Amino acid sequence: AAEMVGDDPVIYDHIGDTYLKLGDTEKAIEYYRKALKVHEKEEGIKEKIEEKLRRLQN
């Protein structure tokens, strides 16, 4: 499914949220990082995703 969305960071963020709810932290982190890479210049979204990654990696 992810291959079909292109580089939409919102979709990557939602996919990460879904993996997190399913208990797959590694996949959640993978998709949060993809979203961050696409959105690295937009501070609001960047901060939101960075906060999710901080919580998962601690």
Report domain extents, the chain: 2-57
Cα of first residue to Cα of last residue in the chain, in angstroms, is: 29
| pTM, entire model | 0.73
CA 40 to chain centre: 12
Residues 6+ apart with CB under 8 A from 26: none
- Give yes or no for a contact between 49 and 13, defined as CB atoms under 8 angstroms apart: yes
* Angle, in degrees to the nearest 10, between helices 25-38 and 9-21: 170
- Give yes or no for a contact between 23 and 52, defined as CB atoms under 8 angstroms apart: no
In tens, the pLDDT along 11-45 reads 899 999 999 999 999 999 999 999 888 877 776 77
